[in-house]
A = this chain, B = another copy of it.
Amino acid sequence: MSPARTEWSDAEEEIMRATYRALLSHGYADLSMSHIADELDKSKAAPYYYYDSKDELLVAFLDYAIYRFEDGLDTDVGDDPKERLDHAVEKLLPLRPDEKTRDLQAVLVELRAQAVTNDAFREQFSRLDAEIVETIREIVQRGVDDGTFRDVDATRIAEHVLATIIGGRYGQATTDREDAIGAPRVSLTSYLDAELRPRP
């Protein structure tokens, strides 16, 4: 796996933001390079200068999305492991996602499906999932170490959180079930409480 990218030029960041807007407007299937160019204020040729194809641009977009996502997952919150965990879970599976968040999740569902057959997409989603597990694992382990949480296998908990989050998002994006949004989040909170609360 190639290392995650952490440097983006201003021009590339601008293309990434344009890609984000174009994805929200058109979805993955209908997205074209010219939709992305339309979202750019300046040169319409800019995306083609940096990327040969829609899929190459989208792999870079996933890199950028993961980088930005890591940035926000575990910040703006104190040192308390319980607060940090609640914050991360709310970021990953919001209880009441707004329309923009739901649109973004729907786009990610479409992008992830490409990972079945496209190795570059697969590498990005492998990295994204590994990052989520590592973030949750580290928070849980801190809580175990300082006595906030019970002495659990932090990796097992983190893998379970990842599976629930992915499953919850897919339920939201691909069904009309009325419980699809709230139910996985409520059950995840209940799971974490049951697994982590220290025994009296």
Contacts and interface: CB of A to CB of B under 8 A. Distances in A.
A143 interface: no
B188 A160 contact: yes
A38 to B, nearest CB: 20
Interface string A117-142: 10001110110011000000000000
Contact of A129 (B129, B164, B177, B195): B177
| Copies of the protein in its oligomer | 2
Interface of A: 27, 29, 106, 109-110, 112-113, 115-117, 121-123, 125-126, 129-130, 155-157, 159-160, 162-168, 170-171, 173-177, 179-180, 183-184, 186-188, 190-191, 194-195
11 contacts: A27-B116, A109-B116, A115-B175, A129-B175, A129-B177, A159-B179, A159-B184, A163-B187, A164-B167, A166-B167, A194-B195
